[in-house]
Amino acid sequence: MEVNVLGLASRCIESGDPCALVTVIRTSGSVPRREGAKMLVSADGAILGGTVGGGEMESRAIALAQQAIADGRPRTATYHLADLARGDPGVCGGTVEVFIEPLLPAPTLLVVGAGHVGRALVHLAKWCGFRVAISDDRAELCTPEQCPGADVYLPGPLSEQLDKLPLTAQTFVALVTRGYPIDVAALPRLLQSPVAYIGVIGSQRRWTIAAQALREQGIREEALQRVRAPIGIEIQAETPEEIAISIMAEIILLRRSSGGGEGQGTAPNRS
């Protein structure tokens, strides 16, 4: 029975597991599979279903699928199956072209701080299609009643909550807290993670004080350069809603310009 590859892909997306769909889009001559043949590949290179022909050609397609998952960019590849001595992946005699499409779960925005800006940011990020997690050490503020719309609530000190939220290259972090000591406590763990973006709210002076405190803890300068501070694109924002717009604009710009944000690192510090 033919595997329902598209059904498998849909289940992966729903469960938050990244994968890539490899589809044969053009063939000529003698080839193992024709147009429309599909294969679903996981981030670790496992075939979740389907096949585009097996052998060395399929192995090469799997490697490209893993690259597509890592960088979020689709790609095509053409394989000539004629001469092994020339480096071809087969000798069937034909040519196969495949399209490789990464299927990634919605990006996650971790909002640290459930104050005015945090609440506005949760609402806007959700509207922009992000999965949203909200954290605040003031547990009474980190609730669906006080901060509606989030997918995940992490009340209590962030350092005690991070194990509950996977930090991946599809995670963006906005520290919109009420004071730099909270940022200093949270950042060492975040800076060790592969998250795509870390932004810190506040004035340049506030970040200067926080950065010095982190240096005194042994945080290296290149790690501190991952932080975007002050957070957001400069649009002369004043209200919480305007500040949320500036933050989301910066995150969307980074995500789109880097092909999804995956594995690209954070935007550089403005200081």
| DSSP, residue by residue, 61-127 | HHHHHHHHHHH---EEEEEE-S-GGGT-S--SS-EEEEEEEEE-PPPEEEEE--SHHHHHHHHHHHH
Domains of the chain: 5-103 (no CATH), 108-257 (3.40.50.720)
Map tokens 């033919």 to a residue. 2
- Asked if residues 139 and 151 have their Cβ atoms less than 8 Å apart, the reply is no
Note the pLDDT tens digit of each residue in 151-175: 999 999 888 888 888 888 889 999 9
Helix (H), strand (E) at residue 197: strand 197-200
Torsion of CA 14, 16, 18, 20, to 10 degrees: 0
Note the pLDDT tens digit of each residue in 228-268: 999 999 999 999 999 999 999 999 999 888 654 443 444 44
Cα of 142 vs its chain's centroid, Å = 24
pTM, full prediction: 0.76
Tell me how crowded residue 59 is: count the other CB atoms within 10 A of its CB.
11
